[in-house]
Chain A
Amino acid sequence: MAKVLMKGNEAIAESAIRHGCLHYFGYPITPQTEIAEYMAKRMPKVGGVCLQAESEVAAINMVLGAASAGARAMTSSSSPGISLKCEGISYLIGSDLPCLIVNIQRGSPGLGSIQPSQQDYYQATKALGHGDSQVPVLAPSSVQELADLTGVAFDIGDKYRTPVMLLADGALGQMMEPVELAPEGQTVLPEKPWAANGHENKRKRNIINSLYIQPDVLEKIVLERYKRYEQIEENEIRCENYMTEDADVILVSYGITSRICKTAVGMARQKGIKAGLFRPITLWPYPKKQLMALADQAKKFLVVELNMGQMVDDVKVSIESKKPVHFFGRTGGMMPSPGDVLRAIESEGGVR
């Protein structure tokens, strides 16, 4: 199939439709509004539903209803809007409902800025909802990956009965790149015998619920869910190694920032610095083993993010603090240049 030039936000929307998602519920917020606009245009043509909800809160609960009824459903937002959805996300987790939640991050906290950021790393990977709960988080770094991982996210969601988050940023959402989309109409959706879609007097009634008043029952349910998290960790971890084979300095970076790092790694190599990049694609579960495998060889790690160092702890834990972990980042919606990252490599860990 030929490549098309598409905005990241539009690629997510089109890819979602091609992966069988015919129910989108959203609310406008920069820099992800193109997803809602694209859905509004396309859904009626493919027999789907795009509904602009009265709030982010309503949108995520509409997703909960649609997912309960057995449909592939999604919502999208940007940082402040995701905070509003967190309640619903906890209920989706507690009800074991699959869905896709897209966060095209912007500067924060509060209303923040509308420029690209990665400031929701903690929220996404540690506490997207209240309670003992996790959500698989995928962090694409190109428009092609936005499209591909949208499909992966739906599959993971259905397989393990969990919401999944696609975590990107304003630059990825807004930029255009050539993308090859999945073919239309070829997704086979899995059976969902647990769905609340009317028992037709043919089966026992289904109940979608997150309330368990007896603590021993609830504990069992949570433990069972964590067993599934273990399987996700076993089967779904994704990451990329870029020039790490002989690297002394290993950059750890995801999403848009990892691309800046790739350029910086090239610049460092030209200067004779053996730099490499480790790019986690699943931010939760974190590719701990894969990063640990580099801990003996590396002299130093340098985490590069568009935040104040939210991933540093995950890197330290992964490598069991075997080597120094430095950090370089910009925040507020600022973006470093490859030259900035190169200087960080040189000052924090440039080993000639």
Chain B
Amino acid sequence: MSKIVFERPKALCDVATHYCPGCTHGIVHRLVAQAIDDLGVEGKTIGVAPVGCSVFAYNYFNCDMIEAAHGRAPAVATGVKRVLPDSVVFTYQGDGDLIAIGTAETVHVGARGENITIIFINNAIYGMTGGQMAPTSLLGQKTTTSPYGRKKEIQGNPIRVCELMATLDGTAYCARVAVDTVPHINEAKRAIKKAFQTQIDKKGFSIIEVLSTCPTNWGLTPTEALEWVRTDMIPHYPLGVYKDITGEDEAK
């Protein structure tokens, strides 16, 4: 008798994605879908897709989905959550969406402690438009709009989102994870599930920053790209939990 040891999470649609070979979006989609499955909340989950590579995310998740304007997903999620406080609302956003054009919306959902979850894909580049500099591109990183390498005197410095969001009083849970190795993926899985749980427990705003790859626009092979996460990204964007008030006594 055979036993199923691995299958598609129910919250993930049975369709082929548009992502490039070697891109880690697929892994993160799966982790999000697994969290939704594990918590049994697909029926009351509403996802908000961004503009960027994950613009088609609404085609991949089995829950109700909304496609937002560039950078506005946190505001859209706020609107949904204020109408349906008992629902589970998440946004799935890239670095340009979250911390360039959508900086105000991102900071303010944190400040308000909006009871939603942001899944933030940081791959240090604009993927959909073909490899332009992102707010999280590293100093020295070559992109089509920083062809000589990002210089702080010219293009400014990359933004560390978890460190920033952790300073906000409304942020309940905030962690940076990576999906470059199996242990890191397991770590990421736990963090994403915990973020959703934080929301279900109505403890406030949660954000998971996922260091992700973009082999196509980085000009690397998938394995080289995973290596670059370890050698270049993690030193600048250290992994870990930046804020967690979920264990604290609520009555306090």
Contacts and interface: CB of A to CB of B under 8 A. Distances in A.
Given A65-B77, A88-B72, A198 B67 contact: no
A226 to B, nearest CB: 21
Interface residues of B, number: 35
B233 interface: no
Contacts of B164: none
A65 B75 contact: yes
A205 B79 contact: no
A196 B66 contact: yes
A72 to B, nearest CB: 10
Interface stretch (A112-120, A142-150, A207-215): A207-215
Contact of A73 (B66, B79, B104, B105): B79
A228 B77 CA distance: 28
B129 to A, nearest CB: 15
A88 B64 CA distance: 20
Nearest to A88: B69
B65 A61 contact: no
**Interface residue tally on A, bucketed by range:** 35 or more
B67 A62 contact: no
Interface of B is mostly: helix
A91 B78 contact: no
A200 B48 contact: no
Nearest to A73: B79
B108 A66 contact: no
Interface of B: 42-46, 48, 55-56, 58-59, 61-69, 72, 75-84, 87, 104-105, 107-108
Contacts of A202: 43
Contacts of A51: 78, 82
Contact of A71 (B44, B75, B83, B107): B83
A100 B181 CA distance: 49
Contact of A207 (B43, B58, B107): B58
A102 interface: no
Nearest to A71: B83
A61 B64 contact: no
Interface string A204-242: 011111110000000000000000000000000000000
B64 A62 contact: no
Contact of B46 (A53, A54, A64, A69): A69
Contacts of B65: 196, 205-209
Contacts of A55: 104
B78 A201 contact: no
Given A54-B105, A66-B82, A206-B64, A200 B75 contact: no
A64 B66 CA distance: 9
B59 to A, nearest CB: 8
